[in-house]
Structure 1
Amino acid sequence: MVQILAEKSNHPFEWLDVTDPEPDELHQIARKYNLHESSVNDCLQPDHLPKYEIVGSEGDVFIIFRLHTSEVDSQADTVRELTDKISIFMKDDRIITIHKKEWPQVEQIKNEYLHSENCKSTRHILNEIVKTGLATYDIHAARLNREIELSETNMFLKNRKLSLLEGLYYLKRKVDVTRRILILTFEIVDKIDSEEGNTYTRDTRDLYVKLHNIYDSLFENTSHLLNIYFSLSSQRTNEIIRVLTIFSVFFMPLTFIVGVYGMNFEFMPELKMKFGYPGVMLLMAAITGGIYYWFKKRGWL
């Protein structure tokens, strides 16, 4: 679907928004507006990472920007599952945005910014696209932070089940993939904020820096949680082994005594003693008591 959001009759530029184009339709648009072939091919790649480049002899700007998708599956961990791609072709008098999914922010820009006095060029539109796109990462950063806090609560106050480890894995993958997308988006933000003293582009850079720090913190927190999970699991395993070791220490001498008197030799005087059986039982009880006292004295029980 092709939608004209701004016309030159009302603005100094033209803004064309294209949603879910077929390859033939996209190539028709490319021929009509003289778009570079390599950039068009990049538009057709759903997993393409963010980039900023100047193509063609006329110095056209081509940008691939990824914003965070609105609905994220609990096991989503890839670039395509976590983000939506927007391809942007920009000249001084024209901007073309191409995207696969519906893009709610475009209506916000159209209604709140396009007709304002601050919107005077395609660079202003580009800055607003990037700013509203970065804001989608801020929304999901808060959601990821809540998931980390919930995982931390379950880890320390409830049973550490396999489902918790699986949840931590997908949580770490979400943070890691989103963080890498933001790192690659830096070039776009840096190119936009190339003019000193521009308050609007500086706000976009400040938002980017804030998000970069947030996702760095989330990445560290998820990594620490995983390390804590494995440390607690090792501690629990060590505790189980300690208990089993204590039991084995109690039964080792008793098993030895039973093994000695269980041998079927003909000449074993103790077997014919009147108080042989109670004597052995008392010996075993004494050994058990001695081991218990020794463990207690050393603080192992």
Structure 2
Amino acid sequence: MITAYTLNGKSLEIQPLSLTDKLPANTLWLDILKPDEQEQSWMKQLFVEEVPELDELDDIEASARFYRDKDGLHIHSLFPQRLGKEIDGINVLFTLRNNMLISFREDDLGLMRLLRHYMRQDRLEVEDAPDLLLEIFQLKIEYISDLIEDGYKTLEETAKEVLQVEDLRQTMSNLMHQEDGNGHVRLALYDTRRALRFMRRTLRKQASDEQRKWIDELLYDIESLLPHTQFLFDKINFQLEAAMGFTSLEQSKVIKIFSVAAVVFLPPTLIASIYGMNFNFMPELALKYGYPLSLVLMLLSACGTYYFFKRKGWL
């Protein structure tokens, strides 16, 4: 799907494009989502060099994520997106050329839908393509900040669930989802910081003073959010260790019960074993009350052992 966003004053108008349409002259942003083969061919008119492929979006090398060529400035940026309890990372390729921004992505993003919502309400004011890219990064950082706040709320709930031993499996599952999501958030922050530093270094002559100040403010926001992600990692690890500790404690209690039961029944077992031996001469076997006496002796030995453990505080 190809969508053009044309500049009208300081606001943007949304215009879906078909393969037969020409690119409007005042296009500020061209968004390309999941292009098929025909749309890939249509994209050749936009690029002087090679048309980007979907499998190139996940490259992690800095030389493949941030570079400049004849087509302009290329920035691969990682966007976190919540899908139920999980947070996934989606890569988007931005190409900044002259006064047009081209975005190329494989999956839909809630952040892009939010951006279009702002456009329809005329809440988005931009003057050129770098302004638009910085606006996208600002929304991305705000979204990451919301994810971090959600992480704090989730950990407050799991902290109470850790004490409920019967539900530890679900609690540990939630903590693992939270740890994975926090990893995507932290990676997105690092990636955005690298992208902004690349923009500041590459556009130091073309960018206006306001744009350079904007980039510095976004970098400051990222630096202020990174300690929160580290704190969340520490808190998640603490709760995981606490949950595993409670599990080990409950297992120890079960093992303790079996151990005490084995020790309590050891004296009666010893008495029964003695009188179960097949010797010809055992005087107690001839006693009239030998059988009930042995039962009483086994009962007293078991009770005495239990009382001894109880007095020592081992039960």
Report the TM range for the smaller structure's normalisation: 0.7 to 0.9
C-alpha distance 244-35 of structure 1, shift in aligned 2 (>3 A): farther
2:115 alignment partner in structure 1? 106
**Equivalents in 2 of 1:33, 1:240: separation in Å?**
69
Structure with bigger strand share is: 2
C-alpha distance 20-191 of structure 1, shift in aligned 2 (>3 A): same
2:271 maps to 1:257? yes
Q: Residues 68 and 74 of structure 2 are in contact (CA less than 8 Å); yes or no, is this contact kept in structure 1? A: yes
Aligned residue among 103, 123, 141 for 2:148: 141
Q: Residues 95 and 101 of structure 2 are in contact (CA less than 8 Å); yes or no, is this contact kept in structure 1? A: yes
Q: Could you state the TM-score of these two structures normalised by the residue count of structure 1?
A: 0.81
Aligned residue among 6, 11, 14 for 2:28: 14
Q: Secondary structure at 1:63's aligned position in 2?
A: strand
1:205 alignment partner in structure 2? 219
1:169 alignment partner in structure 2? 176
1:218 CA displacement: 1.9
**Where do 4+ consecutive residues of structure 1 move more than 6 Å?**
8-13
Aligned residue among 86, 89, 93 for 1:87: 93
Q: What is the 5 A alignment of 1:1-301? A: 1-7=1-7, 14-29=28-43, 31-37=44-50, 40-41=52-53, 43-45=54-56, 47-48=58-59, 52-56=65-69, 58=70, 60-69=72-81, 71-74=82-85, 76=86, 82-99=88-105, 100-101=107-108, 103-107=112-116, 110=119, 111-114=122-125, 119-157=126-164, 159-194=166-201, 198-301=212-315
C-alpha distance 10-224 of structure 1, shift in aligned 2 (>3 A): closer
For each residue in 1:87-138, what CA deviation from the matched residue of structure 2 results, as whole angstroms up to 9, or x when unmatched? Answer: 2101232221223425213325643333xxxx44432222111111222222
C-alpha distance 35-125 of structure 1, shift in aligned 2 (>3 A): farther
Once superposed, what is the RMSD of the aligned Cα atoms?
3.1
**Equivalents in 1 of 2:250, 2:172: separation in Å?**
15
Q: Residues 80 and 184 of structure 2 are in contact (CA less than 8 Å); yes or no, is this contact kept in structure 1? A: no
For each residue in 1:224-245, what CA deviation from the matched residue of structure 2 results, as whole angstroms up to 9, or x when unmatched? Answer: 2211111111111111111111
Q: Secondary structure at 2:187's aligned position in 1?
A: helix
User: How many residues in Structure 1 have an aligned counterpart in Structure 2?
Assistant: 287
